Chain A
Amino acid sequence: GENVEQHPSTLSVQEGDSAVIKCTYSDSASNYFPWYKQELGKRPQLIIDIRSNVGEKKDQRIAVTLNKTAKHFSLHITETQPEDSAVYFCAARDNQGGKLIFGQGTELSVKP
């Protein structure tokens, strides 16, 4: 089955700087990679996703890149703001059963 590794586990940046979170996956057949943001005590919310037929996707200050050859994908947040502070999870869809396999999470702290 699929296995997803996420790094770093914590990330602290100054407001206005960029933040990058990286994930690797093991199953080359995986073809769907979402990113979720979870604020303290709340449910994870989808912020962006990418499918394996594209290499990059942007939505305002957020972008995701996918390298299928290397089996890794990354989340890029530009011009970070304090409200970006949260835990971010990457995931990959397991082709055996279609369930999502989540990374361990990255706690992002944006300091004013």
Chain B
Amino acid sequence: DGGITQSPKYLFRKEGQNVTLSCEQNLNHDAMYWYRQDPGQGLRLIYYSQIVNDFQKGDIAEGYSVSREKKESFPLTVTSAQKNPTAFYLCASTETGSNQPQHFGDGTRLSIL
């Protein structure tokens, strides 16, 4: 969806390094989400935020951190505590308070050097 921009498209992490994945949306959506997708697998929720300055852990939050200082931005940091970070990371957003669809960004593919 043109309204959600993820960067970079590809990212490499060295051992012991923290890396941050960017997600920006211009859809004026309140809620934003981060998912991890491993090869041939489904979407697993890492963190989500329904409003600025608030966020909740998803199913696999360990080794990750987020912030939501602005409505349009929801960056994800993959910390050195995440021992198996290689995956495809997808950001999504949606309006809250109604059954509206969730829109996805194009993803960031993270690999270990």
Let me know if B106 and A32 touch, CB within 8 A: no
Let me know if B56 and A34 touch, CB within 8 A: no
Of the residues B43, B50, B101, B106, contact of A98 by C-beta under 8 Å: B50
- A contact residues around B33 at 8 Å (CB): 99-100
Of the residues B88, B101, B105, B106, contact of A49 by C-beta under 8 Å: B101
* A73 interface residue per 8 A CB criterion: no
Let me know if A42 and B43 touch, CB within 8 A: no
- A contact residues around B107 at 8 Å (CB): 42-43
Let me know if A46 and B99 touch, CB within 8 A: no
* B3 interface residue per 8 A CB criterion: no
- B contact residues around A89 at 8 Å (CB): 42-43
Let me know if A44 and B56 touch, CB within 8 A: no
